[in-house]
Amino acid sequence: MENKDLQIGNFVLNYLKEPILVESIICDFNECTINSDIVELFDPIPLSKEWLLKLGFVKKHNDNELYHEFLIYFIGSNRFWFLDKEDGIVKNHLMIPKKLKYVHQLQNIITLMS
């Protein structure tokens, strides 16, 4: 996991493999720390249906689709689509080209689009 991919507010696994919230990122010339521990002690959290629900995704039509404010996730395809809405009506949808594997990657997209 690259420190450049992390933002304050991301979830990562600590050295005990427990999810924690990134509250600080400090980098100097030699290394970076997250919450006062070196980055190498942390691992990304793999995306899962459980984590999607924790991040605010909800089921609407069936068990294979999870929705966020402006994203839809198709469970079978492991792909996210951006929903272009106008007055609450979907006008277009665009596939996010990069396959997202980790919670922090999705959190960064949600932050960017908010």
Residue 90 pLDDT: 52
The model's pLDDT over 72-100, given as tens digits with 9 standing for 90+, comes to 888 777 788 777 655 555 556 666 767 88
Number of domains the chain is built from: 2
Residue 91 pLDDT: 57
Both 53 and 108 in one domain: the answer is: yes
Residue 88 pLDDT: 55
Both 69 and 15 in one domain: the answer is: no
Spatial separation of the C-alpha atoms in residues 7 and 37, rounded to whole Å: 15
Both 74 and 104 in one domain: the answer is: yes
Both 72 and 28 in one domain: the answer is: no
Taking alpha carbons only, the member of 90, 15, 11 closest to residue 50 is 11
Helices (H), the chain: 49-54, 103-113
Both 101 and 65 in one domain: the answer is: yes
Both 101 and 60 in one domain: the answer is: yes
Residue 14: pLDDT above 80? yes
Both 37 and 59 in one domain: the answer is: no
Both 55 and 102 in one domain: the answer is: yes
Both 24 and 73 in one domain: the answer is: no
| Least trusted range by pLDDT, from 9-13, 38-42, 46-50 | 38-42
Residue 86 pLDDT: 57
